[in-house]
A and B are shown apart, each in its own frame.
Chain A
Amino acid sequence: MAKGEIVAGCLAPHPPHIVYAENPSQNEPVAEGGWEQLRWGYERLRESLKDVDYDAIVVLSPHWQTYIGTHFLGLDNFQSLSVDPIFPNLFRYHYDLNIDVELAKQIHDKAHDAGLTVKMMTNPDFRVDYGTITTGHMFRPEWDKPLVVISSNRSRDYYSVEVMQEMMIELGKVTREAILESGKKVVVLASNSLSHRHFTTESKIPEDMSKEHITSHAMHLWDMRMIDYMKSGQCQRLIDEMPEFTEQAIAETDGGAFTWLLSTLEVPDYPAILHGYGTIIGTGNAIVEWPVYQHKGE
């Protein structure tokens, strides 16, 4: 069997607002656009990867929150209606997604062997979280590639950012090993925002872009600092500064997805492609691609 590979890794945030603004047939509410900077960013990301061949998408979303280890969706198909508990006015999405259970199980088993607490989720009534669905939709609206969906272990809440990073670096390593052994070509996605302080009010028209901006200058500075590291290929610095960033920017990196992503990519030292940055209800969001396919053999 040919060796598997990770063809690309992306930071692919999931505020439901961007799906809402796209008006796909699956989503019930109707918008007059909005958050174009980010939606165009996703467009550029899709364009960038359109000639890259892959078999599956592996995604880690902060909105499937588990306290007892890391869980993996473990049935072939999930179909239901996903209503965002926080923004139900914007996101009521009818999903139908396929899971690469074989690959999920391979990552699960490797993680287990490495000493991590893991569990397969096989309850057919389980509702897939809106973070996974938003990232899945924006990354590939055709929904024609199977997914591996990994929960966000809340070790940051239980211990610290440092412990969370240790566990996510380990999970990233075994994710990578399992993918290489599977013989499959895979894209890995970290579904999270950067700075994550929300407004606690919503304008009458949620997509009124005259009201959209970062919550504070400090948040902006942090986001730009992290983006600079991504663009200049300094991913080790991202990991080194993650504890401060996560605390001071209340960043959604607390869910571990970003650290996990960097680990699956072996902490890249080549520049990432920034496809877009924008704020959503005050939070900072970047769409970033690490084009592994361009750096083969280096």
Chain B
Amino acid sequence: MSDGEIVESFVVPVHPHTVLAPQQNEGWSKLRAAYDHAAEIISNSGADLLIIYSTTWPSIIGHQMISDPNPEWVMVDHDFHDLGSINYSFNIDAEFAALWNAENHSRGLQSRCVNYRGFPIDVGSVVALTLLNPDNKIPAVIVSSNVYADRSETTVLAKACRDLVKKTGRKAVAITAMSLSNRMFTEHIEAKDDRIHSLKDDEWNRKILEFLTEGRLEDVGQLSRTIQQQIRVQKVVNFKPMWWLSAMNENRNDLTGEVLAYEAIHGAGCAVVHLNPTPSGVGNKEYDEDEVEVFAGERGVLDNIVSSEETTTLSTAGSGPELWNPTNAEGSVNTDAAPKPVGAYPHARRVGDLLYLSGVGPRQPGTNAIPGGPIHDGDRKPLNYDIKAQTQAVIDNISRILEEAGSSIENVLDVTSFLIDMDRDFKGYNEVWADTLGKVGPTRTTLAIRALPTPIAVEMKVIAKI
């Protein structure tokens, strides 16, 4: 099977006018024609999967994916109910949704599949799927937009999806159902009087479309926060769809872009934009925001008894040692999915079929937060910490390093563990061990030591086979 890929991408508008009333306004009919044109492009692309990120489906518990293979109902818009109803019956790729869900979890995201009769599919997804996939020929997946998510969470969501597209050999179309400027008139207007709400909104919309025409998708992604402040009604914490779409396209800036239509719907800026992966020759622009591979925020909110201020002590109070980039001598194995070293050494080193890991602690990659809390604060005042959470985090970090090396936790042969307080912590550490590495069966030696370089209570030194 050849590698899968994103064969086309689209930005499409959400309001029901393009389905229910295109004839009432010239702009609406142009948007509809553009939608139909987009459907044709998709049909000719050989795509076998449509992936919709919808801004009109908010979620709270991470991201949600529809996994009902054939959701059917009648959709009525909350505002534009007088335009009529849209009956829908969609063809959903439930298997892809389930796999995506698993990928999300492996990257630290909360997510879940929803498969309930009568689940109200949001207006943006209903409009987009109705028009882009009129005969339901191509199976689709729909993902929500988490109200609290910011750039890292949204980007990681897309990366999980993109990897899966590659792995499963799919030819996928990435679609964001969204408005550009989303300010609508707050009064009823006659269809013929529709226009973009304000000149400022119009100028910003045109600027975004100019970027997209040049294929500069990542640049628009990096403007997301500015766009949110300038032309978005502040319903959610940020303007996210461009982060998602850009990450789906490998954060590229040299796509081939084409605006199929740009018009107003009840004041909001609505566009159908086509982005093709063929390099446009504009060239990659500077990419200055960090690449993020794993989501490390908000983990275990329910279970963690230590407050967020405490878990971030290490990174904010500046009490810990300086962080280093891992060294890279022959056979070194390093990953962004593990915490940065506190000295000049790699995460692991391979010799023949054996992997030798540097001492691994519980710090989280990226944030440096310590699950279960640090052992003391910035002033070295002792804090209450959870040894079980720390031990589990050590084992998770070991797993990630082993996976980077093409191995896994199942292949661990020998472990030396270091505890800073044997009396207090041995029991909890031993319990977590029994549930995890204890089941794998490596040899083990546990030592009490006076201190570790960061405010952690446990570290492990591992030898594994490939």
Contacts and interface: CB of A to CB of B under 8 A. Distances in A.
Contact of A86 (B61, B78, B186, B235): B61
B79 A201 contact: no
A92 B60 CA distance: 17
What is the size category of the interface that chain B forms with chain A?
Answer: 35 or more
Interface string B239-272: 0000000000000000000000000001000000
A127 B61 contact: no
Nearest to A199: B301
Nearest to B268: A67
B79 A68 contact: yes
A66 to B, nearest CB: 5
B234 to A, nearest CB: 6
A200 B78 contact: no
A67 B302 contact: no
B183 A126 contact: no
A64 B303 CA distance: 33
B302 A211 contact: yes
A201 B122 CA distance: 22
Contact of B61 (A71, A126, A201): A201
Contacts of B78: 64-66, 71, 151
Nearest to A153: B186
Nearest to A94: B118
Which has the most chain A C-beta neighbours within 10 Å: B184, B186, B266, B298? Answer: B186
Interface stretch (B26-34, B81-89, B94-102, B458-466): B81-89
A185 interface: no
Contact of B188 (A80, A83, A119, A199): A119
A83 B116 contact: yes
Contacts of B57: 85
Contacts of A203: 302
B148 interface: yes
Contact of A199 (B146, B183, B302): B302
A202 B84 contact: no
B208 interface: no
A121 interface: yes
A83 B298 CA distance: 27
Contact of B235 (A119, A127, A154, A211): A154
Contacts of A233: none
B234 A92 contact: no
A131 B233 CA distance: 23
A200 B146 contact: yes
29 contacts: A64-B78, A65-B78, A66-B79, A67-B79, A67-B184, A68-B186, A68-B188, A69-B186, A69-B187, A69-B188, A71-B79, A81-B118, A87-B60, A88-B114, A89-B116, A126-B76, A155-B186, A158-B183, A158-B186, A200-B61, A200-B62, A200-B146, A200-B301, A201-B61, A201-B110, A202-B61, A203-B302, A211-B302, A281-B60
Interface of B: 57-62, 74, 76, 78-79, 81-82, 84-85, 110, 114, 116-120, 122, 146, 148, 183-188, 233-235, 266, 298, 300-303
Given A67-B184, A117-B188, 6 more contacts: A67-B186, A68-B184, A68-B188, A81-B117, A83-B118, A155-B186
